[in-house]
Amino acid sequence: MSVRVRFAPSPTGFLHIGGLRTALYNYLFARHHGGTFVLRIEDTDQTRYVEGAEDDIIRSLEWAGMTIDEGPNKPGEVGPYRQSERKAMYLDYAKQLIESGNAYYAFDTPEEIDEMRERLKASGNPSPSYDSITRQSMKNSLTLPKDEVERRLAAGDDYVVRLKVPRRETVKFEDLIRGVVSFETAGLDDQVLMKSDGMPTYHLANVVDDHTMGITHVIRGEEWLSSAPKHMLLYKAFGWEPPTMAHLPLIMSPSGGKLSKRKAESEGIPVNTKDYIAGNYEPEALVNFLAYLGWSPGDDSEIHSLQELCELFTLDRVSKGGAVFNHKKLMWYNEHYIRETSVADLAPRVKTLAEEAGLDTKSDEYLNTVIELLHERVSKVDEFVAMGSFFFETPSEYDENALKKWKEDSPAMVAAYKAKIEVLSDDEFKAAALKTALEETVAENEVGFGKVMMPVRIATTGQGFGPDLFPALELMGKDEVLSRIDTALERLR
RNA sequence: GCCGCGUUCGUCUAGGGGUCCAGGACGCCGCCCUUUCACGGCGGUAGCACGGGUUCAAAUCCCGUACGCGGUACCA
């Protein structure tokens, strides 16, 4: 049987980075086995539905390089791929369960359920639930006379369908990542399967869809592990073979706990995939980083393309414990991929970014040289613009830290250097000559190299650090360099 | 509280009874290179949660404790 996996997010917001990793593991698993990667939108909670979320999910997956084989945007044979559009079938399945004695109608109002909980809490039960004991004293098709049940149904009273969880049973299943996991049904409540608005809950829809869509492996976050026994009970009630389960470790925040939006942002970590897109991260870097967050191929390698990851990935090498998101390591990956990207590929992106910042990148040749000069010192594309803005516009101010290196004799040194280079013709204004000129200035004034170089750098770039100075000066050109020196001499006396 | 899952350097991990006084990567520190900042090279720092067992031998197996995380909804 060929492998079919699904990524099944609910469209309640932008695609979370944890969701992206879950999608990635599903994708890698599918590709590794030559299987199918399905996207299913779980929009059964109409109150939490967010407009545009589905588009964001699809766009995010595409940006990361994951190709969806089947989904709402690419219908296959088992659609539709949005649960809201499959609504009709769920009730039939729920009824099937009622008929087989595995589920029942419940007419209790939320208030009545609250009352029951309060009552039980008061009598010492810390976590009361609607279960095999309490259902006996509630209003449902198990306790109500048959004719009243029919009367209520016919009258259109609100009802839900609940799973009739067996009283004392052990539910065991094998999880590909965790091994055998076991639960007692005594700890499970009679999970609502159909809500009073006619929509199924996650649990029913998920099981029905995974089965009807031919899903062979359920790879999802660990937050689902606790409800997995309910799902196993459902498969059994339907008489279906359950898919193989694999519950992924969660991505944790550096301060501990699930990487929530609030937490992550206060720690400087973008949570939504769209923030990485907007933040100009390299998708290859994020993918590589995420793949290694909770998985490793078992050797000392660190760098792999999506395609290589597909070949290497196996679920038995996924770790069990939660993994803390390490932003610095992500940046290391990003830097790596930037360096691997050619100047030609970088150029149009840098150009767009520069233009967005209101900078003129001059000629293609000019831009390319800027990128070459900065290539090794940048860790994210937008830094080409931030670090190299002086290439595109005359600096309007001087960096505060740089100014600490502007000493009393600096104006004299810069002036001396200026005298050396202003006699050069435009053709002679090359890196080598500019360096010689500086060396001569150094020698004639009997000072250290830095005593002249740093002030010249500050005067011409406004910064106390940056690319190789002489090629940079050459690129900026004689007129611009001299004019910047004059300005600096005036302003930094 | 109850249920479930987990726990190897600060972080991500390798390791699955002897080859481990625990290997790699990020970070951090130092040195080299060097015109600055980087890159690069070299080196260093730091860990088997704890307590019992089993065994000739345990990071590896078992039990317990602690801690962490998740779940405990007509949310997913």
State pLDDT tens for residues A399-454. Answer: 988 898 898 899 999 999 999 999 999 999 999 999 999 999 999 999 999 999 99
Residue pair A167/A132 in contact by the 8 Å Cβ criterion = yes
State pLDDT tens for residues A203-261. Answer: 999 999 999 999 999 999 999 999 999 999 999 999 999 999 999 999 999 988 888 88
Q: Please indicate, yes or no, whether residues A18 and A97 belong to a single structural domain of this protein.
A: no
A188 CB and strand B closer than 7 A: no
Straight-line distance from CA A188 to C1' B64, in Å? Answer: 27
**What Rg value do the Cα atoms of chain A yield, rounded?**
32
Residues 6 or more apart whose CB falls under 8 angstroms from that of A169 comprise: A184, A185
Predicted pLDDT at A266: 83
Residues A278-314 as b or e (16 or more Cβ within 10 Å = b): eeebbbbbbbbbbbbbbbebeeeeeebebeebbebbe
Positions of A annotated as catalytic residues are 261
Mean pLDDT of A120-126: 83
| A80: in domain | no
pTM greater than the 0.80 cutoff: yes
Predicted pLDDT at A27: 98
Report long-range pairs for A125-132 (Cβ below 8 Å, ≥24 apart): A129/A189, A129/A190, A130/A106, A130/A162, A130/A189, A130/A190, A131/A165, A131/A188, A131/A189, A131/A190, A132/A164, A132/A165, A132/A166, A132/A167, A132/A185, A132/A186, A132/A190
State pLDDT tens for residues A441-492. Answer: 999 999 999 999 999 999 999 999 999 999 999 999 999 999 999 999 999 8
In 3D space, the residue among A53, A66, A55, A54 whose CA is nearest the CA of residue A20 turns out to be: A66
Q: What is the mean pLDDT of chain A?
A: 95
Total domain count, chain A:
5
Range of the domain at A229: 4-72+206-251
d(CA A365, CA A48): 51
What percentage of chain A reaches a pLDDT higher than 90? 90
Residue pair A10/A42 in contact by the 8 Å Cβ criterion = yes
A227 CB and strand B closer than 7 A: yes
- Of all nucleotides, the one whose C1′ comes closest to residue A300's CA is B24
Residue pair A446/A481 in contact by the 8 Å Cβ criterion = no
| A81: in domain | no
Mean pLDDT of A172-187: 94
- Of all nucleotides, the one whose C1′ comes closest to residue A405's CA is B36
Pull the structure tokens for residue A285: 């870097």
Domain boundary (A330, A355, A386) is at A386
Q: Please indicate, yes or no, whether residues A53 and A150 belong to a single structural domain of this protein.
A: no
d(CA A307, CA A152): 57
A298 CB and strand B closer than 7 A: yes
| A395: in domain | no
Chain B bases having any atom below 7 Å from a protein CB? 1-8, 10-15, 23-27, 35-39, 68-76
CATH of the domain at A283: 1.10.1160.10
- Cα torsion angle, A9, A15, A17, A20, sign: positive
Q: Please indicate, yes or no, whether residues A101 and A166 belong to a single structural domain of this protein.
A: yes
A356 C-beta neighbours (distance < 10 Å), count: 10
Q: Please indicate, yes or no, whether residues A321 and A272 belong to a single structural domain of this protein.
A: yes
Q: Is the pLDDT of residue A268 over 90?
A: no
Straight-line distance from CA A316 to C1' B21, in Å? Answer: 31
- Of all nucleotides, the one whose C1′ comes closest to residue A435's CA is B35
Q: Please indicate, yes or no, whether residues A426 and A438 belong to a single structural domain of this protein.
A: yes
Q: Please indicate, yes or no, whether residues A350 and A425 belong to a single structural domain of this protein.
A: no
| A77: in domain | no
d(CA A65, CA A145): 57
A108 CB and strand B closer than 7 A: yes
In chain A, positions 334-393 with C-beta closer than 7 Å to nucleic chain B are 339, 376-377
Winning range, highest mean pLDDT, from A67-71, A78-82, A112-116: A67-71
Q: Is the pLDDT of residue A71 over 90?
A: yes
Q: Is the pLDDT of residue A358 over 80?
A: yes
Q: Please indicate, yes or no, whether residues A415 and A487 belong to a single structural domain of this protein.
A: yes
Pull the structure tokens for residue A195: 């809500």
State pLDDT tens for residues A271-295. Answer: 999 999 999 999 999 999 999 999 9
Q: Please indicate, yes or no, whether residues A416 and A471 belong to a single structural domain of this protein.
A: yes
Pull the structure tokens for residue A131: 């279960």
| A201: in domain | no
Q: Please indicate, yes or no, whether residues A365 and A443 belong to a single structural domain of this protein.
A: no
Straight-line distance from CA A300 to C1' B31, in Å? Answer: 26
- Of all nucleotides, the one whose C1′ comes closest to residue A335's CA is B39
d(CA A418, CA A412): 10
Q: Please indicate, yes or no, whether residues A140 and A45 belong to a single structural domain of this protein.
A: no
| A82: in domain | no
**Alpha carbon A268 to its chain's center:** 14
Q: Please indicate, yes or no, whether residues A485 and A425 belong to a single structural domain of this protein.
A: yes
A300 CB and strand B closer than 7 A: yes
Q: Is the pLDDT of residue A394 over 90?
A: yes
State pLDDT tens for residues A132-165. Answer: 999 999 999 999 999 999 999 999 999 999 999 9
| A256: in domain | no
Straight-line distance from CA A302 to C1' B24, in Å? Answer: 9
| A184: in domain | yes
CATH of the domain at A427: 1.10.10.350
Pull the structure tokens for residue A64: 């990361």
CATH of the domain at A348: 1.10.8.70
CATH of the domain at A12: 3.40.50.620
Q: In A97-177, at which residue ranges do the beta strands (DSSP E only) sit?
A: 103-106, 160-163, 170-175
Q: Please indicate, yes or no, whether residues A458 and A488 belong to a single structural domain of this protein.
A: yes
